[in-house]
Amino acid sequence: MHHLPLKLQRTKRLTALACAFVLAGAPALAAKSPASAPPPEKSQVAEKKADLRELRDKIETLQKEISTAEGSKAEVADQLRDSERSISQLQRDLRELGEDKEVLQGTLRELNQQSRALQNELDAQQAQLEQLLYRQYLRGSPNSLQLLLNGDDPNQIARDLYYLGAVARARSELLEQIEANWKKKQALAVSTRERATALAAVEEKQKEKHGKLVNQREQKKATLTRISAQIAAQKKEVGSLRRDEKRMTQLIDRLSKLIAARTAKKRAPTHSADTPSRPSRPGAPELENNELPQAAPAGSFARQKGDLRLPVKGTVTNRFGSARQEGSSWKGLFIRSNAGSEVRAIAAGRVVFAEWMRGFGNLLIIDHGDAYLSIYGNNDALLKNVGDSLRGGDTIATVGNSGGNPESGLYFEIRHQGKPVDPLKWASLK
């Protein structure tokens, strides 16, 4: 694989005998350019990453405070927490590995196509070179002095010399092209081996993660079987349902304050009176303000009222405003759907919460700007992280029954300024 084909080796030997020149050695490596200072764009990206870390740190602190506050009131469904968190993370890992695998497979296909095309070009160049050598062999290779001493016609001598020179130049160019293409093919072979090795590593990780996922699902199934009766009894308790509702309200209130504080921070001037602002530059990356991207353009979510689609296909079994058994009313919808179905963001926004929460299982919340939040609960897997920017329709989770829910489906809410609104006035299943 790393040696020249026999035909090419034979051709090069013939050429070496027939030609009056030798190939120049491989070109020297270009000198490395002196190290330069990092461009302004890199420092902007670093500042943006720092801002994202700050947001995630604050959300993580909020999550820990919630967990600490609930520690003294542990419920039976909490026995599922570790398994459901692990299942969510393993599902996300497997999805990411699947995407990596697709990229590597695509790269390998492209490298193989390039290799085949290059081999065809090498074969054609080799045939052309052999033809040139054969023609020169038929005419012989007399030098100019020999031709003059033979007393031939000067015009014919000139034509012969021109022809011989043209053949030599063509031969030289062909050899250079063959050498360059062979080096390209060797580089392609190295790249192909590297990608194949990376693909094998990804497949091995997939196998490992899948094994762990199967084990976690078995653990969850065993735990659920053991405590299902207790969960069912607890779900009927008025106090349990009220605690779930209160827990969600407290989380939304604290998230809303955090979002409002960050919005105010972004609107505050970032330059003092003595420091001129940096002028914009054509072609500069979209990080000029060194802040996280806005959740969505101002007013964009409100304008979509009635035109949105619900995040998952299924059957709405509990509707906003309908009575709950403890006397309150539903603050959102429960959409019964097949386990593993994709849950999609209803509109553009930014993830502000992605964690397991008592009563709601694997929970994800999106900030759509203008104090609008959408809430997705009881998921099997959360596929996005805090700080991720989303477009409407992006896949954010998969349907499950986490949090001790008896059936597979999605719990979904929309809130404005912390207060729940009827999702069916904003979105439909169509």
Task: Tell which of 235, 254, 282 closes a domain.
Answer: 235
In a domain, 57, yes or no: no
What HEC string does the chain produce?
CCCCCHHHHHHHHHHHHHCCCCCCCCCCCCCCCCCCCCCHHHHHHHHHHHHHHHHHHHHHHHHHHHHHHHHHHCCHHHHHHHHHHHHHHHHHHHHHHHHHHHHHHHHHHHHHHHHHHHHHHHHHHHHHHHHHHHHHHHHCCCCHHHHHHCCCCHHHHHHHHHHHHHHHHHHHHHHHHHHHHHHHHHHHHHHHHHHHHHHHHHHHHHHHHHHHHHHHHHHHHHHHHHHHHHHHHHHCCHHHHHHHHHHHHHHHHHHHHHHHHHHHHHHCCCCCCCCCCCCCCCCCCCCCCCCCCCCCCCCHHHHCCCCEECCCCCEEEECCCCECCCCCECCCEEEECCCCCEEECCCCEEEEEEEEECCCEEEEEEEEECCEEEEEEEEEEECCCCCCEECCCCEEEEEECCCCCCCCEEEEEEEECCEEECHHHCEECC
What the block records as the tokens of 322 is: 């309908």
Predicted pLDDT at 324 = 73
Closest to 375 in 3D by CA, of 294, 256, 217: 256
Question: Do residue 166 and residue 299 come from a single domain?
Answer: no
146 within a domain of the structure (yes/no): yes
Residue 206 lies in a domain: yes
Instruction: Single out the residue in 235, 250, 277 at which a domain terminates.
Output: 235
Residue 214 to residues 186, 217, 351, 421, Cα–Cα distance (Å): 42, 5, 28, 38
Cα gap 49→45, rounded to integer Å: 6
- Residue 423 backbone phi and psi in degrees, to 5: -60, -30
Same-domain check for residues 231 and 135:
yes
229 and 254: one domain? no
Query: 367 and 252 in one domain?
Result: yes
335 and 309 assigned to the same domain: yes
Q: Are 204 and 89 in the same domain? A: yes
The answer to whether residue 245 sits within a structural domain is yes
| CATH number of the structural domain spanning residue 207 | 1.10.287.620
Q: Are residue 164 and residue 257 in the same domain, yes or no? A: no
Please report how many Cα atoms fall inside a 13 Å half-sphere around the Cα of residue 311, on the Cβ side. Answer: 34
- If asked whether residues 215 and 311 sit together in one domain, one would say no
Do 85 and 190 sit in the same domain of this protein? yes
Written in H, E and C, the secondary structure of 256-269 is HHHHHHHHHHHHCC
- Tell me, yes or no, whether 119 lies in a domain: yes
**222 belongs to a structural domain:** yes
55 belongs to a structural domain? no
Per-residue pLDDT of the chain (430 residues; tens, 9 = 90+): 444 444 444 444 434 433 333 333 333 333 334 444 455 555 656 666 676 677 677 666 766 666 555 554 556 667 778 888 889 989 889 988 888 888 888 888 888 888 888 888 888 877 877 777 776 666 555 555 555 555 555 665 566 556 666 667 777 777 888 888 788 888 888 888 888 888 888 888 888 888 988 888 888 888 777 777 766 665 655 566 777 788 888 889 888 888 888 777 766 655 444 434 433 333 333 333 334 456 777 778 999 999 999 999 999 988 888 887 666 788 999 999 999 999 999 999 999 999 998 889 999 999 999 999 999 999 999 999 998 999 999 999 999 999 878 889 999 999 999 999 999 999 987 6
Q: What total of structural domains would you count in the chain?
A: 2
Q: Residue 299 belongs to a domain with what CATH number?
A: 2.70.70.10
Domain range for 172 is 73-235
Are residue 206 and residue 114 in the same domain, yes or no? Answer: yes
Could you tell me if 230 and 354 lie in one domain? no
Residues 88 and 142 reside in one and the same domain: yes
Residue 260 located in a structural domain: yes
